[in-house]
Chain A
Amino acid sequence: MSLSYKPVKSLLQTGTSGTSRWLSYIGLCVGILLLFCSIQMLVNIQRLLKGNVIRKGGYDYISILKKIPLDTAIQIEGTYFYQKDIDELKKQPFIADVAPLVTTQFQVEILVPGVFTTPTSLYLESLRPDFIDTVPSDFIWHPGNDTIPLIISSQFFEVFNALARSNGFYQITPELASTITAKVICYGDSDSSVTFNARWSAFSDRINTVLVPEEFMRWANQTFAGKQASHYSRLYIKTKNADDEELTNYLAKKNYRVNKDKNKFGGAKPVLEGIFSGLAVFGLLIVVLALMLFSFYLQLVIAKSRESLQLLITMGYSPKWLGKNLSKRFIPTYILIILIALAFTELMQWAFHTQIMFSRPELSSFVDWKVVAAAITLLVLSVITNHQLVKRLLRRLN
């Protein structure tokens, strides 16, 4: 027959203060909630700040430029990447692949009804499709096609709309834009020109340019300029982790800079991280304070039950068994407190994702695994410290 803790439990409840116990429970719950929310927000910030990094198939894609020193600003050649730069980048173990952003080597003009009513100079670029986050199925071109599909930056689209307003034309939505056909005029060496129809294939938040299919770029450069591009102003890097320290150090050493034009939170990053790190530390302090309060409560229980515990030990009860059962008694409470805090964190994350961030794809409505890991760690730590404290207090009774 196993020894029952039930008759012993009733001996330890006599005359203990419920107020201090509830205060410590509430304190613990608030502290844990603050801690979990701070961790979750730090994760959210990290994910949002990666917004300028395209992540696909487990890889990050970032674009880099050469830094332009003021005194050499006029030396244009110094700002370009060449094939040897690409080859060197490819050799680095932290870089999986490199692709250049190829620019037109000839003059291009565009006509957009309602926006650019007279031909306006433009540049086109192309990038290997595996480096583009989402490639529409119709983003293809073959020699002989008179329509070029374009992927255009959302920011350019906003500029188009601003121009349309100033020209007294109606503004267009992305849906409407896909029905508008623009004209792209490509000029050759001998003032000859070919006009293509152009349609908006997609809008991109991340690629800050006007993209055409690679096939068109190769054909057009050869046809209109008689040569392929030999240098590039921007390169795209495929890497396992865009935040990798080795990569960052390497880029800094080579005087390359990561293109952060699209980083909407760029300037606020250290501030936001600082605020939530501070909140996490504050939450941790509250957790420590609540655990201390709880340990005082535990000491009070044991002090008030001192005579009963001493008598039980005199009768032959094992101090180890008593300690184990006494500390085990609080485990369901700890689990409940941590689960409540976790549930509130989940609720807040869901509200943050769906209501405030309008279900941005970078974020998730569910709490991150780091928060769950923190919850498990906290539970294990609480159980261990509780057990050690009870053991120490009981040893004093012997």
Chain B
Amino acid sequence: MKIEIRDLLPSFFPETRKSSSEIWGSQLVFEKGEYIKIVAPSGSGKTSFMHFLYGLRPDYDGSIYYNQENIRDYSAEDFAKKRSNSISLVLQDLRLFPEQTVFENIEIKRQLNPFHPKQKITEMCERLGIAERLHAKCKNCSYGEQQRVAIIRALMQPYDFLLLDEPFSHLDEKNSQLAMQLMDEESKARGAAIIFADLERIDYFPQTRLFHL
């Protein structure tokens, strides 16, 4: 799978934003296996860009293509198929089920299209240091723990693209590196691309291309 953007700009941004951005108003193609880093200060539209790519919001001008297919023509069922097979996302606002345990939050994603066996949940939680929280309700977990749950959840399915929207905002350096290492391994195992949007450059993300939003 490849993702292509053509002359993309949020509807609520002025046209002038195109001249100061390497993303807005450009024509870009993201291929499998690439590690794309997008750096931008707050308010420049990182989350909007990720939402547009994932098909969560349609309030943009220009076009986004999955394999030459304009996603504006996608139905809810088409998106459901892509989201369970080809594209995964770690949202900045995490979006976990607060009343469900850590394990249940991850399992509900895993069972949708299992890339890993169930045991892998415990294994990954151990690697990211949240194994002892497996049966705790997410509402009782810290933001850092919840962020790691959201990362593991995104790794439970097959994907060609992993979209990361400030995935380490609540993590310290050490835990961020552990999480990055895990995502790197998982993406390489799938030959997948990562599109990583953050406030600043991160040295331990092995980027192949860098864009300023």
Contacts and interface: CB of A to CB of B under 8 A. Distances in A.
A322 to B, nearest CB: 9
A11 B97 contact: yes
B61 interface: no
Interface string B69-110: 000000011001111110001000001010110001001110
B76 A398 contact: yes
A76 interface: no
A317 B104 contact: no
Tell me the interface secondary structure of chain A in the complex.
Answer: helix
A393 to B, nearest CB: 13
B112 A315 contact: yes
B108 A315 contact: yes
Contacts of A395: 76
A14 interface: yes
Contacts, number: 57
B56 A308 contact: no
Given A11-B100, A320-B77, A314 B108 contact: no
Interface in B111-168: 111-114, 153, 157
B28 to A, nearest CB: 24
B95 A319 contact: no
Given A7-B104, A11-B97, A308-B97, A313 B80 contact: yes
Nearest to B91: A314
Contact of A7 (B76, B83, B111): B111
A318 B80 contact: yes
A1 interface: yes
A398 B84 CA distance: 16
Nearest to A397: B76
A8 B108 contact: yes
A47 B35 CA distance: 81
Tell me the interface secondary structure of chain B in the complex.
Answer: helix
Contact of B77 (A11, A312, A319): A319
Nearest to A7: B108
A356 interface: no
B77 A311 contact: no
Interface string A309-341: 001111111111100000000000000000000
Contacts of B89: 314
A4 interface: yes
A3 interface: yes
Contact of B80 (A8, A11, A311, A319): A319
Contacts of B107: 7
A185 B104 CA distance: 100
A11 to B, nearest CB: 6
A80 B77 CA distance: 79
A176 B89 CA distance: 95
A1 B114 contact: yes
Given A7-B104, A11-B97, A14-B99, A315 B109 contact: yes
B112 A317 contact: yes
Given A11-B97, A14-B99, A311-B95, A317 B111 contact: no
A305 to B, nearest CB: 11
B97 A4 contact: no
A318 B77 contact: yes
Contacts of B104: 7
13 contacts: A1-B111, A3-B111, A11-B100, A11-B108, A311-B97, A314-B83, A315-B109, A315-B112, A316-B80, A316-B84, A316-B109, A317-B80, A317-B84
Q: What 4 pairs between A and B have smallest CB-CB spacing?
A: A316-B83, A316-B84, A318-B80, A398-B76
